[in-house]
Amino acid sequence: MNLREYKNIGEQVYSGKLPNGLSVFVVPKRGFNKRYAFFATDYGGADRRFRFAGNWLDTPAGIAHFLEHKMFDMEDGDNALMTLSANGASPNAYTSTDITAYYFECTENFKENLDTLLTFVSTPYFTSESVEKERGIIDQEIRMVEDDPDYAVYYGLMKSLFRHSPIRDSVAGTVESISEITADTLYNCHKVFYNPSNMALCVAGDIDPSEVLETAQRILPAEPGEVPERDYGPPESLEPLKKSVSQAMEVSLPIFLAGCKARQIPARGRENLRYELVSALALEILAGHSSPLYFRLYGDGTVNSDFSASFESVAGEAYSMFGGECRDPARVFDEVNREIVRLSENGPDTELFGRIKKAALGRHIRSLNSFDAICANCVSGYFRGYDAFDVPELLSAITEADVAAFYRESLSPDNMAISIVTPKE
């Protein structure tokens, strides 16, 4: 395996690629008892239309999430979650818009647990009966989450911003869409996306890198697979589909989320990472808890500590969001838009910019003590074509001019949309 040292942050990473196309990363943490393994596929809720073996295929919304639920079933009748837990591990999994990941942490029996993780993720086992049973469970999960105000306000914004992008739709799908999923659908999607060429494994802890590589080579399929081409639909315009949407739910205070699509940004590589770092700094200066806007709105009781801003880049789209609980969403929306105009014209305050930048760098350095953050960021960066350990170098080079350009180019009040959940009368 190749070794890369990051002397500025005191980290090392071993990396290698197996003949089957799997990329393996090992982050040594000498002297730690805890060990962590993160095995993921570059496949999420937005990857519903793709080309494989020369044919374009369409799959139902929620298929990636459904597949994640079913992967823990093993042919011998055991459940991989139970097997890992009984062997001293703490396992879990998740599906997001662009990734599905399976992981565990443990202090003992690491090699056996890694064997189990790689085995069940690479060995699908579905029956019509088990799929039907799982459909009922996910059906209930979907109905429950649709009653969640945070879910409602977020997807209200997504459906307002985007005309046809699959990120408009819940990762879990709908009750109607999951009714189309069969055992054959799951097997086919596993074959396409769970091939080693479309996956990555990252391990952190006091571990011999060669043992990790040997285990992966022994358990996983020997041959590489075809990496599918994805289709997320035609390019979106910057103009939102709807300017505003509102619904009444059982909440004590209004909840709102406003957002704006960004200009086309680099989809992969260091420039993608750099743009995300610039956007994070810009939004923290605009509406973070150290910003003048937040102090003003929090000071008069208009917003509470729930108020925040964030940036997302996924499935070929990028967008900024801000919101939270507040007494007067319309006023906050107007105040934020005025602040965007001011920052676009004048740029950020020099002292505030320096303080926010140092805080961001400090948070990143502290995150290197978190094994799960290390592994998730390493794999996500690999899928996007950049090295997540380059964050400190790129962050240090960002200037006030970079942030001011983000306000001008990617935060236009004219292209804003707002989603509001109001208390029922």
Q: What is the pLDDT of residues 368-424, one digit of tens each?
A: 889 999 999 999 999 999 999 999 999 999 999 999 999 999 999 999 999 999 999
Please give the Cα distance from 14 to 10 (Å, whole number). Answer: 14
Tell me, what's the pLDDT at 334?
A: 95
**Other beta carbons less than 10 A from residue 310's beta carbon:** 16
**199-205 and 35-41 beta bridge pairing:** antiparallel
The predicted pLDDT at position 265 comes to: 81
The C-alpha atoms of residue 80 and residue 70 are separated, in whole angstroms, by: 10
Catalytic residues: 68
Amino acid in the structure at residue 71: M
Given a cut of 70, the residues of the chain with pLDDT beneath it are none
For 237-299, the DSSP string reads PSS-S-SEEEEEES-SS-EEEEEEEPPP--SSSHHHHHHHHHHHHHHHHHHSTTSHHHHHHHH
CA–CA separation, 231 and 157 (whole Å): 22
pLDDT score recorded for residue 314:
92
In contact, 276 and 314? CB cutoff 8 Å: no
Terminal Cα-to-Cα distance of the chain (whole angstroms): 63
* pLDDT of res. 21: 96
The pTM assigned to this predicted structure is 0.94
Measured CA to CA, the distance from residue 49 to residue 58 in angstroms comes to 5
Residue-level pLDDT at 8: 86
Number of neighbouring beta carbons within 10 Å of residue 361: 14
Q: Which two tokens stand for residue 75?
A: 């042919």
For residue range 189-198, what is the model confidence (pLDDT) as tens digits? 999 999 999 9
Question: What phi and psi, each to the nearest 5 degrees, are found at residue 84?
Answer: -65, -45
Q: Is 299 exposed, middle or buried (0-12, 13-18, 19+ CB in 10 A)?
A: exposed
Give the pLDDT confidence score for residue 1 in this predicted structure. Answer: 86
pLDDT at 344: 92
Strand partners, 92: 103
Asked if 49 and 61 touch (Cβ cutoff 8 Å), the reply is no
Q: What is the pLDDT of residue 118?
A: 97
